[in-house]
Amino acid sequence: MRGLFVGRFQPFHNGHLKAIEWVLRECSDLIVLVGSSQACYEVENPFTVGERIEMVHDTLKASKLLEKCIILSIPDVNNNALWIAHVNSLVPKYDVVYTNNSLTRKLFQDAGRQVKDIPFFDRLDFDGTKIRKAMLKGTGWQKFVPKEVEKFIEKKKIIQRVQTVATGDKMC
Amino acid sequence: MRGLFVGRFQPFHNGHLKAIEWVLRECSDLIVLVGSSQACYEVENPFTVGERIEMVHDTLKASKLLEKCIILSIPDVNNNALWIAHVNSLVPKYDVVYTNNSLTRKLFQDAGRQVKDIPFFDRLDFDGTKIRKAMLKGTGWQKFVPKEVEKFIEKKKIIQRVQTVATGDKMC
Amino acid sequence: MRGLFVGRFQPFHNGHLKAIEWVLRECSDLIVLVGSSQACYEVENPFTVGERIEMVHDTLKASKLLEKCIILSIPDVNNNALWIAHVNSLVPKYDVVYTNNSLTRKLFQDAGRQVKDIPFFDRLDFDGTKIRKAMLKGTGWQKFVPKEVEKFIEKKKIIQRVQTVATGDKMC
Amino acid sequence: MRGLFVGRFQPFHNGHLKAIEWVLRECSDLIVLVGSSQACYEVENPFTVGERIEMVHDTLKASKLLEKCIILSIPDVNNNALWIAHVNSLVPKYDVVYTNNSLTRKLFQDAGRQVKDIPFFDRLDFDGTKIRKAMLKGTGWQKFVPKEVEKFIEKKKIIQRVQTVATGDKMC
Amino acid sequence: MRGLFVGRFQPFHNGHLKAIEWVLRECSDLIVLVGSSQACYEVENPFTVGERIEMVHDTLKASKLLEKCIILSIPDVNNNALWIAHVNSLVPKYDVVYTNNSLTRKLFQDAGRQVKDIPFFDRLDFDGTKIRKAMLKGTGWQKFVPKEVEKFIEKKKIIQRVQTVATGDKMC
Amino acid sequence: MRGLFVGRFQPFHNGHLKAIEWVLRECSDLIVLVGSSQACYEVENPFTVGERIEMVHDTLKASKLLEKCIILSIPDVNNNALWIAHVNSLVPKYDVVYTNNSLTRKLFQDAGRQVKDIPFFDRLDFDGTKIRKAMLKGTGWQKFVPKEVEKFIEKKKIIQRVQTVATGDKMC
């Protein structure tokens, strides 16, 4: 059985990794779909899609999960009713969708897909917004992310980018 | 004389129907243009364009107005100055635009089109936002919409969709 | 039962009208969907979508078929696998698709839709390419189109446009 | 040495003109790039791109700076990481970017470009938002803009447009 | 009186320059609009838009015509009927269009614009296709283009690019 | 060292597999990028992107190469000069590009990337066009593709799709 797991992964954090480990107990393999792929250099979305794929890839490789996963990406679609069709055109076949997002769940359900919740291990500890706030302060974000993500963020100097983006200047 | 009447119709309500009846007293026929056609599964825009066309169609058929109306749709354009050109490319010829929206009026006027106000019968009673709030509570929305729209909303379980969308989760 | 009938209608001709009459013997109503809506001022596509909707509308009105028809339009989508999803998002619900086009049939069938052929009354006599060639020569095209389309083409001086477009100059 | 100076120019004001004069003391010529070209008929963006180019052109001509400047425009790109590539594809070669916007600076720097600050002559006096507010009141905006811009705004009745847009009605 | 002159300028050649000189005898200034701005690295369109603007700019500067010209660019629009609206939104106001292209002329005329022919000085000698063929052979192209364009093509090694593109390989 | 290998994979054939095996002798891992991702249900492009990813994935898994590969996809971009920027935004970092396509090579080289040829093992035997022609006839295509691709094509009844598409009917 193949699962589908969608997230923005801004950044890929311990909660995501635990969720994938949990899903792979009942699925033989999993499509990890990086959503809102176009969004980057924004307060809510500092990472590019290539960077997010790299974080997911490096972490899953270190966790020995890579061979069970297919990492793909999809941009936002301006018509919510068409999003599922875009997903279905873009990814290999899958049997069940794992999500805790109510709109995502509703759209997949309306399209006749099976959807399951992920029993998130303490959602408060694995919240993207909270992690990005810590990154903005420049401290305390490391504990929320896998070792590989920490290294990646430091090598690419993403903290500095987050702080630049947070000045609120829009482009031009 | 052919009129043009633009609206998002989220949902199509009694105010819209009265407006169309009023316009058809001075126009022989009318283009009913469903705007922001791409918007759906959003708090302000729960219905898909196909659903909105179906609500307009069913109501106008029941009201014996269908033969005088041409129901079409148009997506948003990211450049307001081009919107009128898109409308003009998309619809059959028309003589006068009916709208109470100040931006729509300005754009058509700047393009040299005749624009008329609609004397809205008690705007407070026919306000889309207010109706969507009632739909969210699940009660009291029926009196604002034509019988055919009420049936459509119930058959399609739109109340449930409005409540899902209102959880505020953005996709992925 | 509601049918769906797709065509480019460049122009709307007698074959289209006969097909609609034939379909309406087994359907109570019909969505007439103007495809490739963006294409115009081209050799194969001289008419704008607004003009095509106007030709369909005027003819169906004169034929007393308008009340049974919903005329809508859809642009091309650059991914064939997504086209059906766009159609389904855009139009009211329908039960059966009428088409003689093999790609359209295949796409709707792969999406699980019922598709029926239209027994075209002498396809040779009702071929868009042949009619556009006659329009280019400026003679002999009138017999292939309904009276209302003939009037429309003359009033809008479309013959002159067809001849301009045929010089083969691409824009700029 | 050729510089690149990006702005929305909503409207082109005295601060922009002073900045260009300042840059042209160290550059032999300058690309003046009108950003967010699609934005218009909005509270923050009342002018069309054609109008903005016209204001820049008329002012630079009157200031005898036109021959040293290349005025171009670029729409927003939905992926910030691609914006620099769009700029580089669109404009002639340039050596240095002048901007006080932190996101613009960051993106050009990440792409390996040299970026310089502009010592803005009293930023408070040359702030687009403040000028648009004065335009909305209909008074006191003239002192912030070059003579040619003042004339342009009056001839095109832009004050009336700003006030219409400010009613807050969204299109349809 | 301001003129508008549209071309792809692949490359900008002596015929274009003569045309501009001719137009500037009856116009006080001229918008030179680089069309199909997105097209590049193709057999028919080897140059990027930035390169084309640079060729036009350098030539007009050397010819002392720059101050009378506004050089802008516009991408193709997939709906021919909307192209004029895009042009009008993008450029400053103009009074008359100069073109020998029959589709461009028709579109501007249908939009109510004045259009004039350019008495091309021996069209055979100034034909883009012919010049690109000479560039492909690598010889004999220099006589068709202004000195500045010749230098530009050599400095940027465009001949090599034309020959690469001509192998006919499509991307990926 | 990470490589990048781009192809349309219509279908993924033995030549592609051999190329990947060859590259992985000098690279520790490889990004396999499915290009023209939007193209499908066409004579030259029968497969959807999801199907192509599935064929690549299944084959690499069976060949024990999956853990060294990152399979991603990218749509065509209408401006060739922007394609590399799209690739770079979309994929994790890479060191060298492997391609025999002259346009792809040129674009990556102009962007300063290292590009290497793949010594294709008898190109005639591994040519997509030839394989699609065999698929159209319904016979003799199996020997050109990996076992997993053969199974996939049969299970999904792609031969039937290829034959439908080949009737030449364009949509609507």
pLDDT tens figures, C81-93:
999 999 999 999 9
Euclidean distance between CA atoms B163 and A152, whole angstroms:
39
Euclidean distance between CA atoms D48 and D11, whole angstroms:
10
Residue E59 has pLDDT above 60, yes or no: yes
* Average pLDDT in chain B: 93
Categorize the per-residue pLDDT at E167 as very low, low, confident or very high, splitting at 50, 70 and 90: confident
ipTM: 0.92
Euclidean distance between CA atoms E43 and E164, whole angstroms:
9
Residue of chain F nearest C34, judged by CA positions: F172
Q: E72 and D70: CB-CB below 8 Å?
A: no
Q: Which residues of F touch D86 (CB under 8 A)?
A: 82
**Residues of chain D with confidence (pLDDT) below 70:** 121-126, 169-172
Euclidean distance between CA atoms A105 and F47, whole angstroms:
28
Which residue numbers of C have CB closer than 8 Å to E's CBs? 38-42, 48, 161, 164-165, 167, 169-172
Q: What is the pLDDT of residue C122?
A: 55
Counting every residue, how long is chain A? Answer: 172
Q: At what angle do helices B128-137 and B158-165 cross, to 10 degrees?
A: 100
pLDDT tens figures, E108-150:
999 999 999 988 755 655 688 999 999 999 999 999 999 999 9
Q: Which residues of F touch E39 (CB under 8 A)?
A: 79
Q: What is the DSSP letter of B145?
A: S
Q: C89 and B61: CB-CB below 8 Å?
A: no
Euclidean distance between CA atoms B9 and B69, whole angstroms:
15
Q: Tell me the nearest-neighbour CA distance from E96 into chain F, angstroms.
A: 30
| Beta strands per DSSP E along B20-149 | 29-34, 69-73, 96-98, 115-116
Residues E69, E60: contact at Cβ < 8 Å? yes
Helix, strand, coil distribution of chain B in percent, nearest 5: 50, 15, 40
pLDDT tens figures, C36-60:
999 999 999 999 999 999 999 999 9
- Write out the two tokens for F3: 């490589």
* Average pLDDT in chain C: 93
Residue of chain E nearest C43, judged by CA positions: E103
Q: Which residues of C touch A79 (CB under 8 A)?
A: 89
**Among the ranges given (A4-8, B84-88, F125-129), the one the predictor scored with the smallest mean pLDDT:** F125-129
Choose, out of B5, B42, B106, the residue to mutate when testing the contact with D (most D CBs < 10 Å): B106
With contact defined as 3+ CB pairs under 8 Å, the chains touching A are: B, C, D, F
Q: Which residues of E touch B84 (CB under 8 A)?
A: 85
Q: What is the pLDDT of residue F127?
A: 84
Alpha helices (runs of H) in E27-166, residue ranges in sequence order: 49-62, 80-90, 102-110, 128-137, 147-155, 158-165
Beta-ladder partners of B3: B30, B96
pTM of the model: 0.94
Checking C153-158 for CB contacts under 8 A at 24+ apart, the result is C153/C11, C156/C51, C158/C11, C158/C46, C158/C47, C158/C51
Q: What is the pLDDT of residue C124?
A: 57
Q: Reduced to 3 states, what is the DSSP secondary structure of residue C112?
A: coil
Buried b / exposed e across C44-81, counting CB within 10 Å, b at 16+? ebbbbbbbbbbbbbbbbbeeebbebbbbbbbbbbebbb
Q: Tell me the nearest-neighbour CA distance from C51 into chain F, angstroms.
A: 17
Segment holding E19, helix H or strand E: helix E14-26
Q: What percent of chain F has pLDDT over 90?
A: 87
Q: Tell me the nearest-neighbour CA distance from D51 into chain E, angstroms.
A: 6
Which residue numbers of A have CB closer than 8 Å to D's CBs? 38-42, 48, 161, 164-165, 167, 169-172
pLDDT tens figures, A8-20:
999 999 999 999 9
Residue closest to C88 by CA, chosen among C77, C101, C103: C77
Which residue numbers of F have CB closer than 8 Å to A's CBs? 37, 40, 48-51, 53-54, 57, 61, 66-67, 70-73, 88-93
Euclidean distance between CA atoms D31 and D11, whole angstroms:
18
CATH 3.30.420.40 for the B2-166 domain, yes or no: no
Q: Which residues of A touch B41 (CB under 8 A)?
A: 80-81, 103, 106-107
Using CB atoms, pick whichever of E80, E101, E104 lies closest to residue C42: E80
Please enumerate in sequence order all residues whose Cβ is within 8 A of that of C70, keeping only pairs 6 or more positions apart, or say none: B53, B57, B71, C29, C30, C31, C32, C91, C92
Q: What percent of chain F has pLDDT over 70?
A: 93
Q: What is the pLDDT of residue D72?
A: 98
Q: What is the pLDDT of residue E46?
A: 97
Q: What is the pLDDT of residue F133?
A: 95
Q: Tell me the nearest-neighbour CA distance from C11 into chain A, angstroms.
A: 30
Euclidean distance between CA atoms E40 and E53, whole angstroms:
13
Are chains D and E touching, using the cut-off of 8 Å on CB pairs and a minimum of 3 such pairs? Answer: yes
* Average pLDDT in chain F: 93
Buried b / exposed e across A119-135, counting CB within 10 Å, b at 16+? ebeeeeebebeebbebb
Whose tokens are 């508008």? That residue is: E4
Q: Reduced to 3 states, what is the DSSP secondary structure of residue E168?
A: coil
Residues F28, F65: contact at Cβ < 8 Å? no
**Among the ranges given (A52-61, B162-171, E74-83), the one the predictor scored with the smallest mean pLDDT:** B162-171
pLDDT tens figures, B80-137:
999 999 999 999 999 999 998 889 999 999 999 999 998 875 565 568 899 999 999 9
Whose tokens are 């889309």? That residue is: B128
Residue closest to B59 by CA, chosen among B141, B120, B155, B145: B145
pLDDT tens figures, A108-118:
999 999 999 98
- The mean pLDDT of A23-52, rounded to a whole number, is 96
- The mean pLDDT of B31-52, rounded to a whole number, is 96
With contact defined as 3+ CB pairs under 8 Å, the chains touching B are: A, C, D, E
Which residue numbers of F have CB closer than 8 Å to D's CBs? 79, 81-82, 84-86, 89
Q: Reduced to 3 states, what is the DSSP secondary structure of residue D156?
A: coil
| Beta-strand pair F2-7/F29-34 | parallel
Q: What is the pLDDT of residue C119?
A: 83
Using CB atoms, pick whichever of D51, D54, D89 lies closest to residue E50: D89
Counting every residue, how long is chain B? Answer: 172
Euclidean distance between CA atoms B33 and C32, whole angstroms:
17
Helix, strand, coil distribution of chain F in percent, nearest 5: 50, 15, 40
Euclidean distance between CA atoms B57 and B52, whole angstroms:
8
Q: What is the DSSP string of D133-154?
A: HHHHHTSS-GGGS-HHHHHHHH
Q: What is the DSSP letter of D119?
A: -
Q: What is the DSSP string of B101-122?
A: -HHHHHHHHHTT--EE----S-
Q: At what angle do helices C128-137 and C158-165 cross, to 10 degrees?
A: 100
Residue F172 has pLDDT above 90, yes or no: no
Q: What percent of chain A has pLDDT over 70?
A: 93
Which residue numbers of C have CB closer than 8 Å to F's CBs? 6-8, 33, 35-36, 76, 78-81, 83, 101-107, 110
**Among the ranges given (D121-125, E164-168, F23-27), the one the predictor scored with the smallest mean pLDDT:** D121-125
Q: What is the pLDDT of residue D159?
A: 97
Q: What is the pLDDT of residue E150?
A: 98
Residue C114 has pLDDT above 70, yes or no: yes
Q: B61 and C48: CB-CB below 8 Å?
A: no
Q: What is the pLDDT of residue E122?
A: 55
Euclidean distance between CA atoms C147 and D142, whole angstroms:
60
- Write out the two tokens for B124: 């407070």
3-state SS string for C5-57? EEECCCCCCHHHHHHHHHHCCCCCEEEEEECCCCCCCCCCCCCCHHHHHHHHH
Please enumerate in sequence order all residues whose Cβ is within 8 A of that of B140, keeping only pairs 6 or more positions apart, or say none: B134
Q: How many CB atoms lie within 10 A of CB D75?
A: 18
Q: E101 and C171: CB-CB below 8 Å?
A: yes
Higher per-residue confidence, A124 vs D104:
D104
Euclidean distance between CA atoms D17 and D112, whole angstroms:
27
Q: What is the pLDDT of residue F124?
A: 57
Q: What is the pLDDT of residue F167?
A: 82
Q: D92 and E51: CB-CB below 8 Å?
A: yes
Q: Which residues of E touch F79 (CB under 8 A)?
A: 38-40
Residues F83, F67: contact at Cβ < 8 Å? no
| Beta-strand pair A29-34/A69-73 | parallel
Q: What is the pLDDT of residue D119?
A: 83
Q: In the structure, how many helices (H) and strands (E) does chain D have?
A: 7, 5
